[in-house]
Amino acid sequence: MKKLHVFFGSVVVAILLVMGLRSINATQSNEASDDNTVIIYNWGDYIDWDLITKFEEETGYHVVYDTFDSNEAMETKISQGGTRYDLVFPSGSIIPKMLEKDLLVPLDHEKIIGLENQSEYLMDQPYDPGNKYTVPYFWGTVGIMVNTAKLPDHNIKNWSDLWDPRFENELLLIDGARETMGMALQSMGMSLNETDPEKLQAAADHLTELTPNIHAILNNEIRSLLINEEALIGIGYSGDAAWVSYQNPNVEYILPEDAGVVWTDNFAIPKTVGNIEGAYAFMNFMLRPENAKQNIDYVQYASPNEAAKELLPKEVTDNKLLYPDRETINVLEHYEYLGQEVMNYFNELFLDVKMGL
C-alpha cells in the first residue's frame, strides 16, 4: 500500500548511485550469486538504507535492492518468473491472488525469530490465516487530511462529509480504484469489498456527484499540494499524513467515523527465491526490535513490532494518527482480493469517473 514519494526521488537516486548496488535490472538479478546475495523487491523508499549496510556487515551477505510502485506491477513480475527475487513485500489485498497463482513459498516459522513481537490484531488475517505465507512489515490506515487553518469550521468527520458543496475544487483523491471507489462505497454505508455490480455502479454514480469538489486525482503529488496549500483536503495513507502534518502543522488527519481502512504490507518469500536462507536472515534482521525501531524512524509508518514500539518516544506511540486505539481498529476494514473479474469492473467504473472530470 505504500506509494513512492516523488519529491524524494532525486535523493533516492543519488543514494542509489553512491551505494552502487541497490537497484538492479532482470539480467543483473539472475547473474547474482545464489549463496551470497539476497535480492529484495520492495516499495520505493520503504527502508532505512543504513540497515541494509548494517545487515551486509553483520552477515557477509550482499544485498541487491529493486523497487516497485504498485502491487500489480510486483505481482506481474513475480508471475513472469524470469527475475530472481528472494524476498518481496506485498500488501494484504494482493496476497490471495498471489496464493491463487502459487507465487509464494510457505514460511517455516521455526526459522523466523521475533514472531512473538508482532501485534496480534495484525496477525492471522483473512488474506493469510495463520500467517502461513506472510509476516507484517508496516501497516496503516486511509483517511482524510484537512487544512484546519484555512478550513477551521470544516466539521469533517465522515467520508460522506466530503460531498459538502462548501468544498468545491478543494479535494484531492487517490488515483486508485480500490481506495477511491472504496471511499464512495463506505460513504454509502457499504463495504469497500462490495462485489455486487449494481452497488458498485451506484458507488461510481455517487463518486461522479463529487466531481465539483474534486481538484485532482493523483498519487504522490497529494502530499506536496497539501503541504504547499494548493488544495485544502486530501485522501491519503496515515504515514503520508504524518509527513504532511510534520511539514505543515495546519494539516490534520481524520479517520472517518462512519468507516475506514486498515492495510498491511508484508514480508513474503516468492517462488522466484534463489537464496531462501538469506531471505530468512534478512527478515529476522529486520524483525529485531532495535532494527525495526530504526526503520520506523526512517519510514514514518506504523510498525506491527510491539517490542520496537516500546523503544519509541511516548509522543509517537500515543499519536492516534499512526497508532489508533484498538476500538478504532476493530471497526476498520481490510482490503480483500475480489477476483480479477470484479477488479476489472472496479477499474472500468473508476476510469469512467476520471474521464468525466
Q: What is the pLDDT of residues 327-344, one digit of tens each?
A: 888 889 988 889 889 999
1 occurs within a structural domain = no
**What CATH number does the domain containing 214 carry?**
3.40.190.10
Average pLDDT over residues 247-267: 93
Percent of the chain clearing pLDDT 90 (strictly above):
75
User: Across the chain, what does the average pLDDT equal?
Assistant: 90
Indicate if 225 and 269 belong to the same structural domain: no
> HSE on the CB side for 150, CA within 13 Å?
19
Measured distance CA(126)–CA(262) in Å, rounded: 13
Strand (E) or helix (H) holding 245: helix 238-247
303 phi and psi angles, rounded to 5 deg: -100, 145
Average pLDDT over residues 52-72: 95
Measured distance CA(29)–CA(85) in Å, rounded: 8
Report the range of poorest mean pLDDT among 3-12, 145-154, 157-166, 227-236. 3-12
pLDDT tens digits along 83-108: 999 999 999 989 999 999 999 999 99
How many helices (H) and strands (E) in the chain? 15, 10
Indicate if 134 and 145 belong to the same structural domain: no
Q: Is the separation of the CB atoms in 229 and 248 below 8 Å?
A: yes
Q: Is the separation of the CB atoms in 270 and 174 below 8 Å?
A: no
Indicate if 112 and 76 belong to the same structural domain: yes
Indicate if 53 and 63 belong to the same structural domain: yes
Indicate if 270 and 183 belong to the same structural domain: no
pLDDT tens digits along 173-189: 999 899 999 999 999 99
What pLDDT does 22 receive? 45
SS3 6: helix
What pLDDT does 7 receive? 38
Indicate if 50 and 61 belong to the same structural domain: yes
Is 279 a residue whose pLDDT tops 90? yes
What pLDDT does 29 receive? 47
What pLDDT does 21 receive? 43
What pLDDT does 161 receive? 98
Is 121 a residue whose pLDDT tops 70? yes
Is 191 a residue whose pLDDT tops 90? yes
Number of separate domains in the chain: 2
SS3 295: helix
What pLDDT does 145 receive? 97
Indicate if 196 and 342 belong to the same structural domain: yes
Q: Which of 148, 146, 187 is nearest to 170 (CA)?
A: 146
Indicate if 203 and 334 belong to the same structural domain: yes
pTM for the model stands at 0.84
119 occurs within a structural domain = yes
Q: Is the separation of the CB atoms in 125 and 329 below 8 Å?
A: no
Indicate if 297 and 338 belong to the same structural domain: no
Q: Give the structural domain span for 88.
A: 6-139+264-323
